[in-house]
Structures are given as structure tokens and as C-alpha cells.
Amino acid sequence: MKRFMSMLNRNKSKDPPPAKLLDLAAQLCRDLQSCSPSLEKLVGAMMGCRHRMYFLTNIHVVRAFVSVHLRQGQHDTACTLLENCKAEEKEELVQLWHEIHYRKVMEKLQVDCLTPLQKFRCRKRNPPPPSLCPEGLRTRSYSDEVRQQLRSFAAEVTANPDKKQREELAKETNLQPTQVYNWFANYRRRHKA
């Protein structure tokens, strides 16, 4: 930590900061994850320096910043930080985005964990910004061709296929047998209502 602080002070005016400094920051963030006061001191130093955006290109540093903000109850600040950071690991950033919102809901409801349904609702109400998902959110919907093939099988053959039929359909549609099973279960449920 002392080495990092002295290196940070020495390189205050350099733009961009040396790669060694950025690497050391990432390593310290990884090492100090479980040591809250030291991590807060490190994050405070990085937040106060003019090279803050350079540090936010590393996922370990981003995770540390978010962790400190969450401990301090600064959910909106953590979200803003994620929206503006330049880290490449977009999937991890989206997970952090969801974690922030889960934590917010847990504090509001005063519970230690959320049910899967609560997490689903939380994700639906708080989708990640385009800066984290430039190509848009991944959906779990199947293509029109796959849905049409499954619908025609349900209408022409059976809405309750056996294991062998589900496995054949899975191969034809390039889905997992579990996905086919769930699609037909949902199909029957929808048509029953």
C-alpha cells in the first residue's frame, strides 16, 4: 500500500499514468477485498486523484469502488460509476449492476437475501444502461423458426412429448432437452388458462 501511495504521488502529473501503477492498483484491490478499512483508504486515494478514469479500466478496481460505495450506502454513486467506467468485462459489469440493485432492495425490505422472483423483478425494473450493454440485453426468447417448429409439433403431434421426442426436438432446434421440456410445460399452462 505504501509503495502504491508513493508511486501515485510521484506520478500525479503524468498523463496517462504508468502501466505499473495501474497494475499495482488492480493487484491491491484483489488482495484487499476482505480488508475493508484498507480497501476504503485505497479507493479513497484513487477517487481523489486525477487519473481516476484510468483506474476504472480494470475490473478489479471497479469491483473495489462498487464494494466501497455499497458499504457506504451510496447505491446511485455506484451505478453512475458503472455507467461511466471503461472496463472491458461487460458481463461482469452487468452482474455488478444487478448486485447493486439487489442490495438496494434488500435494504429496503430489510432482508438478508432475495428470492429468485424478487431478483427477476429487480432486474426487470432496473435494466443495465446501454453503456454496459451496447448490443442490447440478451433475451431468452427463441427464434421465430424454433417457436414455430415447437408450436406445430404441439398442434400436430402432442403438447406433452415424452423424453425421446423432447431429445429429438432438442437436436432439431439446437436447444437443450430441459429447454424443450420447459417450453412445452409453459405451452400447456398457457393453453390451459
User: Is the domain of 118 the same as that of 27?
Assistant: yes
Question: Domain range spanning residue 87?
Answer: 1-132
Q: Which three cell numbers stand for residue 39?
A: 480497501
User: Is the domain of 122 the same as that of 150?
Assistant: no
The pTM assigned to this predicted structure is 0.65
- The pLDDT tens digits of the residues spanning 87-115 come to 888 888 899 999 999 999 999 999 999 99
- The pLDDT tens digits of the residues spanning 48-85 come to 888 888 888 889 988 899 998 988 889 999 999 888 88
Residue 17 host element (H or E): none
132's CB contacts (< 8 A; 6+ apart) are 82, 83, 90, 93, 94, 97
pLDDT at 171: 93
CA–CA dist 100, 74 (Å, integer): 10
User: Is the domain of 37 the same as that of 127?
Assistant: yes
**Measuring CA to CA, how many Å separate 47 from each of 8, 34, 40?**
12, 19, 10
Question: Band of the pLDDT at 191, cuts 50, 70, 90?
Answer: confident
Does residue 139 register a pLDDT over 80? no
User: Is the domain of 128 the same as that of 156?
Assistant: no
- Residue 99 domain-assigned (yes or no): yes
**Measuring CA to CA, how many Å separate 36 from each of 11, 63, 80, 103?**
26, 13, 22, 18
- Residue 138 domain-assigned (yes or no): no
CA–CA dist 8, 55 (Å, integer): 11
What CATH number is attached to the domain comprising 154?
1.10.10.60
- Residue 52 domain-assigned (yes or no): yes
Question: Band of the pLDDT at 136, cuts 50, 70, 90?
Answer: low
Give ∠ CA 149-153-158 in degrees, rounded to 5.
160
Does residue 135 register a pLDDT over 70? no
Give ∠ CA 124-130-132 in degrees, rounded to 5.
90
- Residue 183 domain-assigned (yes or no): yes
Which DSSP category does 190 fall into?
H
Residue 133, burial from CB neighbour count under 10 angstroms (0-12, 13-18, 19+): middle
